[in-house]
Structure 1
């Protein structure tokens, strides 16, 4: 089972998550896509979003899936952008998670500090701004095993340096793979297909093949 976490302003129905779910299913792995509150089909307001709240929501999804009679076996997490950051935060405290793949994830959220006007313009609210001001939980954890960090070499929103930092603080086995010329959202179909293929291969290796 792989749980996919979308980015700050995205949703579970983004074409890249649908394509990933289809590819994982073809490889024999179930994929759960969900919307964080205030996004897509979920209830709630985007302006109430915080990092801590999204971590808690991912935890709730993982708990619900673990109790489902049709879900068994190892768990993997995939996340794009902030979703990757959230996935890493959750994985640090959940021993059921055996592998993580992040796409264009930030190593920390300090670049958002001081961006009040930008965040408000995109529908975010005071709870997130206050969380950023407090500086709580703004750095992705280290020491995680079986992490794959995928990043577009032309990502202008989250520079490649973030991926290198995440890789540096992860534990073996780990991998950092750059997608030449790819932007933050993998708008090029070829780059998106490559990211999907590498993600499926990583989860197949650790969730199905039993690699250590």
Structure 2
């Protein structure tokens, strides 16, 4: 389990920053915490690093919205944003962080490179209920067949010039169990063109899959 530093004071719906001390180095997260929550969501971006978010601020929107449903949310910054194995380690440390706060069910959401990270991490953690891949890369998703019985949602723009929609089609084909794929016309890699649809789709999926 990672050690946790004392957070800075937070206000209102603003997330509180924490640093998770792991054997491989510190992992920075932002926590939107709902007291007595039993379910949580972990969000991470792609190789851009930092607290990256797709779809016109999707991640902060989800963090604030899910608080209203008594769901805690963590946004995570990878230590090494292009190293799949290290990023999976960071995400699993984030899952442990949520478990230590009393949560029993966790959803993972990742964009681009982060989609592959979340699939790999989800297959390794029995506490993960569902995984959401947004414009995911197919490289590094061999573990998708091991996600079952966890559910999988994939969202991809048909105009993605960075990672073609065939990436999500390949992942979807190899996944077992409950899975869904939404392809968005006129939408590129960052999903800005369909930001409202992405927010609604992901929010509704998470609420459904994390229900008690």
Residue among 145, 154, 160 paired with 2:159 = 154
Q: Which residue of 1 aligns with 2:135?
A: 104
Gaps of 5+ in 1: 39-45, 109-137
* Shift in Å, 1:149: 0.4
Is 1:76 aligned to 2:115, yes or no? no
Tell me, yes or no, if structure 1 residue 67 matches structure 2 residue 100: yes
Kept in 2, the 8 Å contact 1:106–1:163? The answer is yes
Displacement after TM superposition at 1:205 (Å): 1.1
Distance in 1, matches of 2:207 and 2:74, equals 16
Decide whether the 8 Å contact of 1:80 with 1:103 is kept in 2.
Answer: yes
Aligned to 1:6: 45
Unaligned runs of 5+ in 2: 1-39
Partner residue in 2 for 1:19:
61
1:186-197 → structure 2 map (5 Å cutoff): 186-188=191-193, 191-197=194-200
More strand by share: 2
The answer on whether the counterparts of 1:88 and 1:141 sit within 8 Å (CA) in structure 2 is yes
What RMSD in Å do the two structures reach over aligned CA positions? 1.7
How many residues are treated as equivalent by the alignment? 167
Taking structure 1 as reference, are residues 18 and 205 closer, same or farther at Cα in structure 2, changes over 3 Å only? same
Aligned match of 2:88: 55
C-alpha distance in 1 between matches for 2:142 and 2:203: 23
Does residue 1:142 correspond to 2:122, yes or no? no
Query: After superposition, what is the alpha-carbon deviation per residue over 1:47-83, rounded to whole angstroms, capped at 9, x for unaligned?
Result: xx52111111111111122112xx4231100000111
Instruction: Flag the structure with more relative contact order, 1 or 2, with Cα contacts below 8 A and sequence separation at least 6.
Output: 1
The two structures have a TM-score, normalised by structure 2, of 0.73
Question: Of residues 120, 128, 131 in structure 2, which corresponds to 1:89?
Answer: 120
- Per the TM alignment, residue 13 of structure 1 is displaced from its structure 2 partner at its CA by 5.4
Distance in 2 separating the partners of 1:22 and 1:182: 25
Q: Report deviation, 1:187.
A: 2.3
Match of 2:169 in 1: 164
TM-score, scaled relative to structure 1? 0.73
What is the alpha-carbon distance in structure 2 between the residues aligned to residue 34 and residue 166 of structure 1?
23
Which has the larger helix fraction? Answer: 1
Rounded to whole Å, the distance in 1 between the matches of 2:46 and 2:65 is: 20
* Contact residue 27 and residue 200 of structure 1 kept, 8 A: no
1:7–1:79: 8 Å Cα contact kept in structure 2?
yes
Quote how far apart the aligned CAs of 1:195 are.
Answer: 0.8
